[in-house]
């Protein structure tokens, strides 16, 4: 099954990379861009019989490896849902 | 308007960071994970009156700054569409 994990910085955490991109865009003439946040999208192919098991395993490995729970939150989709 | 840009490595491009994550997951007991690809998700707040204009501007700045057209492809959503 296709698993997609989106990892975002929590809202209270500053995003210097996003700020840099916003600043570059402004200098390039895209001054209508007011806020930029950068996250990760991790796309995995996961073997498994049923969606609830695959989702539960994905929750587990996302928490343990893909996201830093202190600074990041994550969101999981299995086969697009 | 809320603009989301997803930047992925093109399929032909190797993803060593993805391979490393797959290997780590395997060592942690998640051997059902068979393929891992890492991309970026950039979420922007863009001022603008109408969706087609905002989308066209987003195409332009994604091509110019957010993605490397040689190695990456990108996908844009405006207000979730």
Express each pLDDT in A56-65 by its tens digit: 999 999 999 9
3-class state of residue A5 by DSSP: strand
Cβ-based burial of A16 (10 A; exposed 0-12, middle 13-18, buried ≥19): exposed
Tell me the shortest Cα–Cα distance from B43 to chain A, in angstroms: 5
pLDDT band of residue B80 (cuts 50, 70, 90) is confident
Contact call for A65 and B32, based on CB within 8 A:
no
Parent domain of A63: 2-28+35-78
DSSP symbol at A66: I
Query: For A33, which residue in chain B has the nearest alpha carbon?
Result: B46
Number of Cβ within 10 Å of residue B41's Cβ equals 18
How many residues make up chain A in this entry?
Answer: 81
Total structural domains within chain A? 1
Considering chain A, what is the average pLDDT of its residues? Answer: 97
Residue of B78, B11, B81, B43 whose CA lies nearest to A21: B43
Contact call for A38 and B33, based on CB within 8 A:
no
Q: Which residue among A28, A38, A42 places its CB closest to the CB of B42?
A: A38
B31-49: pLDDT as tens digits: 999 999 999 999 999 999 9
* CATH code (residue A13): 3.30.1280.10
* B residues 29..48 contacting A (CB < 8 A): 30, 32-48
Specify whether the CB–CB gap between A43 and B36 falls below 8 A. yes
Here the ipTM equals 0.93
- pLDDT reading at B20 higher than 90: yes
């Amino acid at each position: 099954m296709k698993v997609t994990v989106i990892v975002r910085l929590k809202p209270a955490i500053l995003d210097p990379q996003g700020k840099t991109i916003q600043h570059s865009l402004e200098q390039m003439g895209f001054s209508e861009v007011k806020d930029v946040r950068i996250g990760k999208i991790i796309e995995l192919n996961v073997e498994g019989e049923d969606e609830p098991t695959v989702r539960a395993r994905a929750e587990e490995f996302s928490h343990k490896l893909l996201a830093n729970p202190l600074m990041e939150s994550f969101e999981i989709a299995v086969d697009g849902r």
